[in-house]
Amino acid sequence: METAGESQKTPEEDPGDSTEFVERKHFTERIYRQFGYSVFGLSFLAIPIGVITAYGAWGFLATFGLLGRVLRGEGGVDHRWLSLIEISLGGLLFGIVLHFLKWERFRTPAHVIVASSENDGKLRAKDSLLTAIADALALALAAPVGRYGPAVYLGASIGSLIAQLLRLNRTSIRILLGCGVAAAISSAFNAPIAGVIFAHEVIIGHFRLRAFAPITLSSVAAVAITRSHHIEYVGLKLWSVPHPISLNDYPIYLLIGVGAALLSMAYMSGIVNAIRVAERARIPKIIQPMLGGLIAGGIAFAFPEILGLGDSVFLSVLEQDPERPAYGIAALLLLCGAKLVASVSCLGLRYPGGAFTPALFIGGMFGAAVGLLTPSIDFQISVLVGMGALVSSVIGAPLAVILIVFELTENYQAATAVMVAVVASNAIVTRYFARSLFHRQIRFWGIEINRLPEQRILAKRTVSEVTRREVFSLPLDRTFGEVRNDLEKHYRKDAYVVDATSNLVGILPFRVWSATADEEKIEDWIEDVDFVLTQEDSLWSALERVEETDGLVSVPVVDSEEGGELVGEVFASDFAREYRNAVRQVRREEASEVG
């Protein structure tokens, strides 16, 4: 109804009421759906994600390079005491940051896997920025950690944040997160095919048509930018011409894979268990990274080659003449062990950085030692076989690592040798340890990422969402005669009994109250409640408990384990309904991923 002095607005004055505006709005929504949910739209978005990630990876490399020159001078690490002090003080700084952020550790690819499977692919901008800064500083300090893990987290963050800004759905966010990961691997290794496989194999966990096209385009866009600027992060070109691999060589490569599996399990177990050892020793979290830096810096007094990424040492070993080696068998094995202990000390004690590059170094030194021990096989291929077998076991990406070796070396013989060792190594590690370091860390955090999709959906919801608030309850301090009318209204129904503060104290079954005299007191006839849920319980955990109880019709719900106030009840049919709804949601998401 209009008031005095007001006039009715025309469509020109209020475009929200005009037909033209409504049509324009519907057209905009159709375009949004087309670009945000279809394969075409996601592919369109994947290209800028690949470009931004490529420049982001280059910027990350330039940042820690510049910081390294500022902290250590142009000559690199040339004073062992200075390196010890810098790495240790850096660890103290990282411990303080973790303390104030209330983080357990800085973000890694394991957090990306959790975000993809458990958090709808969502990563936070603050986490990404702080992790990138910490990783760049750790690498600038020449800590024995890697750069590829940070690059993966950076790429994943770029894809996830762009998808969140556009308010895309869960499936689309996860796909664009995968685009960022693929672009990071593609630009870091100049290996676009490996980037695509890595994103599917490690992060997304499956191959779907809707994800394949965007992830492929993002990977190609990233490597195009890298090649156009002639950026090379790692070079594994074989300098000698490998002699043909004979049938007798393959058992040796198989044995290298077995040895790499043992080394990788020692490496990963050390990283996972270092925190447990520190906690048992009651070492405060705030000084654990400093302790890791002290151990690594101490080892560097005897083996300065283990500091930093170790790229120059790795390439020197790869290119050395096996008949007149600069690094003999003993030196290679000592470097292998020293790098393993130093990297485990840092990564296990919450130092930021990746686990990929140290694994590459450790595997390469091990393969080189075997190559010198067995002159019958090609030395350079032996180095690559050790590297590939150990790295694939650590990151849980056998296909991606095989393709990385092939794309970097452009050598088919090297790829086939690596395949044999990778299969052996991954079979052993998967059987006796875990699918990868990341999956073992996730399991250590108490997260089960291999559970059913419907289980994941119900685990995110709570019992309070399905609780029926109107519940039949009786006061404890009454007689049956005083509440007889209420009992007759709920014929054939059990009654919950509460005290003066509404806390649940028991249950009064129908068979009891229907045959009890009016003068009897309720408190004399109540029975214990065997099964109670709280509002905070997840629907999945509650469903599992309900399944274990035969003949259960309804369950009382209390506010919390500490309080015990009765707030309602849940019926078994409610759980069946929510489970069916979760299954339908999973089917819809699977259908959208295919389409």
Look at residue 191 and tell me whether its pLDDT is greater than 70. yes
Task: Give me 42's structure tokens.
Answer: 């996601």
Residue 486 makes CB contacts below 8 A (sequence gap 6+) with 472, 474
Q: What 3 state SS string does 372-424 have? A: HHCCCCCHHHHHHHHHHHHHHHHHCCHHHHHHHHHHHHCCHHHHHHHHHHHHH
DSSP bridge partners of 497: 474, 506
Look at residue 265 and tell me whether its pLDDT is greater than 80. yes
The angle that helices 412-432 and 379-395 make with each other, rounded to 10 degrees, is: 40
Between 207 and 298, where is the model more confident? 298
**Region of residue 214 (phi > 0: left; psi between -120 and 50: alpha; otherwise: beta):** alpha
How far from 387 is each of 208, 360, 499, CA to CA, in Å? 30, 5, 68
| Confidence at residue 266, expressed as pLDDT on a 0 to 100 scale | 96
| Confidence at residue 245, expressed as pLDDT on a 0 to 100 scale | 82
Residue found by looking up tokens 């070796």 in the block? 405
Q: SS3 breakdown of the chain: % helix, strand, coil, rounded to 5? A: 65, 5, 30
Could you tell me which of 429, 396, 410 has the C-alpha nearest to residue 257?
429
How far from 414 is each of 60, 311, 322, 372, 508, CA to CA, in Å? 31, 20, 17, 17, 75
For 205-209, 261-265, 268-272, 463-467, which range has the lowest pLDDT when averaged over its residues?
Answer: 205-209
The domains located in the chain, with CATH, are 29-76+107-228 (1.10.3080.10), 249-448 (1.10.3080.10), 455-583 (3.10.580.10)
Q: Contact at 8 Å (CB) between 455 and 553? A: no
pLDDT tens sequence across 420-477: 999 999 999 999 998 899 999 998 888 888 788 888 888 888 999 999 888 777 787 7
| Confidence at residue 580, expressed as pLDDT on a 0 to 100 scale | 92
Question: Whole-angstrom Cα distance, residue 381 to residue 386?
Answer: 9
Count, in order, helices (H) and strands (E) of the chain: 23, 6
Question: Whole-angstrom Cα distance, residue 183 to residue 449?
Answer: 24
In this prediction, residues 275-281 reach a mean pLDDT of 90
Look at residue 23 and tell me whether its pLDDT is greater than 60. no
User: At 12, is the pLDDT very low, low, confident or very high (cuts 50, 70, 90)?
Assistant: very low
Please report which residue ranges of 410-492 form alpha helices under DSSP H: 412-432, 437-444, 453-459, 484-489
Q: What percent of the chain has pLDDT over 70?
A: 87
How far from 411 is each of 290, 316, 401, 414, CA to CA, in Å? 42, 19, 14, 5
| Confidence at residue 329, expressed as pLDDT on a 0 to 100 scale | 95
| Confidence at residue 277, expressed as pLDDT on a 0 to 100 scale | 92
Beta strand 504-508 pairing with 473-475: unpaired
Q: Contact at 8 Å (CB) between 111 and 144? A: no
Look at residue 483 and tell me whether its pLDDT is greater than 60. yes
- Render the burial of 536-575: b for 16+ CB within 10 Å, e for the rest: ebebbebbebbeeeeeeebbbbbbeeeebebbbbbebebb
Between 165 and 517, where is the model more confident? 165
User: At 120, is the pLDDT very low, low, confident or very high (cuts 50, 70, 90)?
Assistant: confident
In this prediction, residues 305-314 reach a mean pLDDT of 89
Instruction: State the Cα angle at 434 between 439 and 117, rounded to 5°.
Output: 25
Q: How far is CA 46 from the centre of its chain?
A: 21
- The residue type of 3 is T
Q: What 3 state SS string does 108-175 have? A: CHHHHHHHHHHCCCCCCHHHHHHHHHHHHHHHHCCCCCECHHHHHHHHHHHHHHHHHHCCCCHHHHHH
Q: Contact at 8 Å (CB) between 213 and 240? A: no
In this prediction, residues 310-318 reach a mean pLDDT of 89
Backbone angles phi, psi at 46, to 5 degrees: -65, -30
How far from 505 is each of 256, 425, 463, 479, 546, CA to CA, in Å? 65, 58, 20, 16, 21
Look at residue 148 and tell me whether its pLDDT is greater than 70. yes
Could you tell me which of 112, 121, 153 has the C-alpha nearest to residue 136?
153
Question: Whole-angstrom Cα distance, residue 349 to residue 118?
Answer: 25
Between 128 and 38, where is the model more confident? 128
Q: What is the mean pLDDT of the chain?
A: 85
Between 73 and 536, where is the model more confident? 536
Q: Contact at 8 Å (CB) between 380 and 240? A: yes
For 177-181, 191-195, 562-566, which range has the lowest pLDDT when averaged over its residues?
Answer: 562-566
Beta strand 473-475 pairing with 566-571: unpaired
User: At 551, is the pLDDT very low, low, confident or very high (cuts 50, 70, 90)?
Assistant: low
* Range picked from 28-32, 76-80, 326-330, 532-536 for highest mean pLDDT: 326-330
* Range picked from 311-315, 329-333, 376-380, 536-540 for highest mean pLDDT: 329-333
Task: Give me 351's structure tokens.
Answer: 């130092």
| Confidence at residue 554, expressed as pLDDT on a 0 to 100 scale | 81
Dihedral angle sign, alpha carbons of residues 188, 233, 397, 420: positive
Q: What percent of the chain has pLDDT over 90?
A: 44
User: At 29, is the pLDDT very low, low, confident or very high (cuts 50, 70, 90)?
Assistant: low
DSSP bridge partners of 474: 497
| Confidence at residue 133, expressed as pLDDT on a 0 to 100 scale | 92
Task: Give me 55's structure tokens.
Answer: 């420049």
Instruction: Give the single-character DSSP code of 537.
Output: S
Question: Whole-angstrom Cα distance, residue 556 to residue 469?
Answer: 10
How far from 240 is each of 36, 322, 416, CA to CA, in Å? 49, 11, 17
pLDDT tens sequence across 209-256: 778 999 999 999 999 999 888 776 665 555 555 567 888 899 999 999
- Render the burial of 175-189: b for 16+ CB within 10 Å, e for the rest: bbbbbbbbbbbbbbb
| Confidence at residue 1, expressed as pLDDT on a 0 to 100 scale | 38
- The residue type of 513 is W
